């Protein structure tokens, strides 16, 4: 932490800053430049110190140097974290495709989709039983019944399943059915929920808050990691910007950026970020080329009658065609397209 003094600060101002720092058992390193004086703070910094120092007379600004997340950082753990689910390794050189309907509607819908996406090379089945919806009047998911349908589809196809959990009190129950628990973008700073999934032993797919900085996103992961659960998969799913022609703006630079800041695996969701089926294949290929460890994508037997986000779901045909391009791009960037022959 570094304290920059105003040009017109006095000798007393400076001594006040030094005394305050030393009162916390920290040490001071003084640097008197041509233009201004800068005070370095040495020792175990705590968060509240920043505003404490900023309010002292003569202080221009206080700059934090170290990142506020630790367990999630690449500096803390140099080697990539690999999350194993079934026979796939998320975070490795494998490219893992997760696919399925946005919301689970009925047995036939889930099963037919599960069989198709498996045949096309997907390794994990996605599907929502609890759906966060902006309007209270929209379809909010089948709940527990949806989880049961997911479990049946897993039994039949062998595909592990990922599904969203929305409330702290549901974590145990959802963990009974799911292989990966998803935290949605609107819960990315629901700290009670993050605490709760930090206590379980199953992988967590942590979507980026649609207005979360990289730092806030990694701090959300830090909640889970510091709770004792080290199996966190990060998922870029689009951020909110001034451009409204797409539902969100997919930030693909997040993929290499997060890989440099953190050891955690990072995947992309081209469906919820764009909100438009015709943009999903190009953004899927772009995410693979950018180095994503996986993608998660909405597929529906008949998007036009989907109960949730039909405009962004791929038909079976489009998904199959896309998967052959995914294999080609994955190989072009040195990835092993997991479970994809041909």
Give the separation between CA 101 and CA 23, rounded to whole angstroms. Answer: 58
Helix axes 316-332, 280-289, angle to 10 degrees: 20
Taking residues 245 to 284 in sequence order and writing x for each that binds its own copies by CB under 8 A, - otherwise, the string is xx--xxxxx-xxx--x------------xx--xxx--xx-
Report 191-250 residues binding its own copies (CB under 8 A): 191-192, 194-195, 210-211, 213-216, 219, 222-223, 226-227, 239-246, 249-250
Least separation in angstroms between residue 274's CB and its own copies is 5
Least separation in angstroms between residue 63's CB and its own copies is 6
Using the rule CB under 8 A, is 66 a contact of its own copies?
yes
Report 121-150 residues binding its own copies (CB under 8 A): 132-140
Residue burial 311-320, b: 16+ Cβ < 10 Å; e: rest: ebbbbbebbb
Cβ nearer to its own copies, comparing 111 with 289: 289
Using the rule CB under 8 A, is 318 a contact of its own copies?
no
Least separation in angstroms between residue 227's CB and its own copies is 8
Cβ nearer to its own copies, comparing 230 with 274: 274
Which residue, 254, 211, 219, 223, is CA-closest to 236? Answer: 254
**For residue 1, what are its two tokens?**
């932490």
Give residues with Cβ within 8 angstroms of 310, minimum separation 6.
Answer: 102, 300, 303, 304
Least separation in angstroms between residue 77's CB and its own copies is 12
Q: What is the 8-class DSSP label of residue 5?
A: E
CA distance readout (Å), 165 to 12, 107, 159, 206, 211: 55, 20, 19, 11, 20
Cβ nearer to its own copies, comparing 123 with 247: 247
Q: Which residue is associated with the tokens 């993929």?
A: 255
Using the rule CB under 8 A, is 54 a contact of its own copies?
yes
Residue range at the interface with its own copies (CB under 8 A); choices 33-41, 92-100, 115-123, 173-181: 33-41
Using the rule CB under 8 A, is 10 a contact of its own copies?
no
Cβ nearer to its own copies, comparing 22 with 156: 22
- Is residue 213 packed enough to be buried (19+ CB in 10 Å), middle (13-18) or exposed (0-12)? exposed
Is 170:160 a contact under the CB 8 Å cutoff? Answer: no
Q: List the beta bridge partners of residue 232.
A: 204
Binding test (CB under 8 A) with its own copies, winner from 63, 106, 172, 199: 63
Using the rule CB under 8 A, is 7 a contact of its own copies?
yes
């Amino acid at each position: 932490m570094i304290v920059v003094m105003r040009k017109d600060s006095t000798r007393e101002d400076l001594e006040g800053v030094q005394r305050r720092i030393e009162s916390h058992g920290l040490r001071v390193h003084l640097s008197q430049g041509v233009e201004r004086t800068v005070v370095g703070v040495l020792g175990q910094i705590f968060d509240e110190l920043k505003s404490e120092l900023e309010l002292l007379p003569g202080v221009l600004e206080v700059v934090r140097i170290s990142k506020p997340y630790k367990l999630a950082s690449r500096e803390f753990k140099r080697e990539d974290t690999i999350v194993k689910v079934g026979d796939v390794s998320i975070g490795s050189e494998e490219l893992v495709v997760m696919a399925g309907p946005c919301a689970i509607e009925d047995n036939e819908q889930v099963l037919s989709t599960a069989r198709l996406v498996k045949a096309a090379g997907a390794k994990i089945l996605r599907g929502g039983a609890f759906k966060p919806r902006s309007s209270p009047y929209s379809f909010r998911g089948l709940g527990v019944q949806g989880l049961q349908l997911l479990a049946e589809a897993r039994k039949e196809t062998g595909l592990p399943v990922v599904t969203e959990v929305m409330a702290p009190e549901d974590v145990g129950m959802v963990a009974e059915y799911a292989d990966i628990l998803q935290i949605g973008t609107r819960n990315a700073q629901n700290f009670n929920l993050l605490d709760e999934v930090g206590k379980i032993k199953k992988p967590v797919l942590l979507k980026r808050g649609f207005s979360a900085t990289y730092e806030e996103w990694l701090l959300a992961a830090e909640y889970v990691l510091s709770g004792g659960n080290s199996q966190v998969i990060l998922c870029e799913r689009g951020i909110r910007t001034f451009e409204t022609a797409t539902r969100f703006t997919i930030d693909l630079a997040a993929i290499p950026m997060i890989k440099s800041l953190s050891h955690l695996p990072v995947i992309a969701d081209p469906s919820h970020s764009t909100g438009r089926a015709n943009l999903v294949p190009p953004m899927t290929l772009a995410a693979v080329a950018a180095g994503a460890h996986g993608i998660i994508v909405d597929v529906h037997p008949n998007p036009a009658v989907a109960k949730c986000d039909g405009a962004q779901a791929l038909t079976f045909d489009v998904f199959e065609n896309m998967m052959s391009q995914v294999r080609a791009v994955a190989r072009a960037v040195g990835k092993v397209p997991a479970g994809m022959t041909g």
